[in-house]
Amino acid sequence: MKEVFNTFFYEPLYNGLVFLISVIPGADVGIAVVILTLVVKILILPLSHKSVVSQAKMRNIEPEIKKAKEEIKDKQEQAKRIMDLYKKHGVNPFSGCFLMLIQLPIIFALYWVFFKGLGNIDTAPLYAFITHPEHVNMMFLGLIDMTKKSLILALIAGTSQYFQMKLSMPPLPSQEKNKASGPVSFKDEFAKNMNVQMRYVLPGIVFFVSYSISSAVALYWSVSNLFSIGHELLVKRKAIKLIKAA
């Protein structure tokens, strides 16, 4: 398993980072991290785009799903109606989970690259055609040391994660609506708790991890989140135009 991880994830990303350092003027590691992050996000964009579009559609059909839950009391029939709605609107409720499974090894590999592969270049994993850079500049834009912690980048990572989750997740129902709809089921309460934790706890974890490891990880997470936010806003804008056109 370790050999598979190294061969297909860690080594390609490590070689990509070293290559970028060798060709970027000034050998700025921070700029190399930004470019590598963007390249990875663009490579998995087709998958993430499907997930974002599916999530946007799910938010749009939320009133129909709620109506089906109120009208149909039989759980089996209720599930069938909801699946029919998913099929009708071309929604894949599992697309987000699939995307996360695809991204996890990439994220772990990037962390390992940034955690292990900065400062002194390890020549052992390098491909034969990758040039070993003569100089490595660890000061991102001459301001932030990539080998040390950065409170500013960690705050940007945590804040951008909050807004990214806010855009991608359905809005929390108000207390008035909850009271008006009657007693809340365990399933609905569990979903609400998960929503709250993803919105508020996950950004805190991102901040803590980003600040604990190195500013390179914080920079990666910040760029990744900002890219995702831009993608979410673009998809949402297109969705609004389609609704208005209809």
Mean pLDDT across 160-188 = 62
Q: What is the pLDDT of residues 67-78, one digit of tens each?
A: 777 777 777 777
| 141-167 per-position pLDDT tens digit | 888 888 888 899 999 999 998 888 887
Dist. CA 137–CA 230, nearest whole Å: 29
The backbone torsions φ and ψ at residue 241, rounded to the nearest 5 degrees and listed phi first, read -65, -40
Give residue for tokens 């599930």: 79
Residue 208 pLDDT exceeds 70: yes
Checking if the pLDDT of 182 tops 50, the result is no
What's the pLDDT at 176?
A: 46
pTM of the predicted structure, to 2 decimals: 0.74
- Which is more confidently placed, 31 or 123? 31
Q: In which element (H, E) is residue 244 found?
A: helix 215-245
pLDDT tens track for 88-133? 777 766 665 666 666 778 777 877 887 665 667 778 888 888 888 8
Q: Decide if 133 contacts 199 (C-beta within 8 A).
A: no
Q: pLDDT tens for residues 2-14?
A: 788 888 888 888 8
Q: What is the pLDDT of residue 84?
A: 79
Q: Token pair 């998913």 is at which residue?
A: 86
Please determine, for residue 219, whether its predicted confidence score (pLDDT) is greater than 80: yes
Q: Which domain holds residue 103?
A: 2-245
Question: CA–CA separation, 110 vs 17, rounded Å?
Answer: 10
171-176 average pLDDT score: 52
pLDDT of residue 242: 54
Long-range (24+ apart) CB contacts under 8 A made by 58-61 are 58/91, 58/93, 58/170, 59/170, 60/89, 60/239, 60/243, 61/85, 61/86, 61/89, 61/91
Query: Domain tally for the chain?
Result: 1
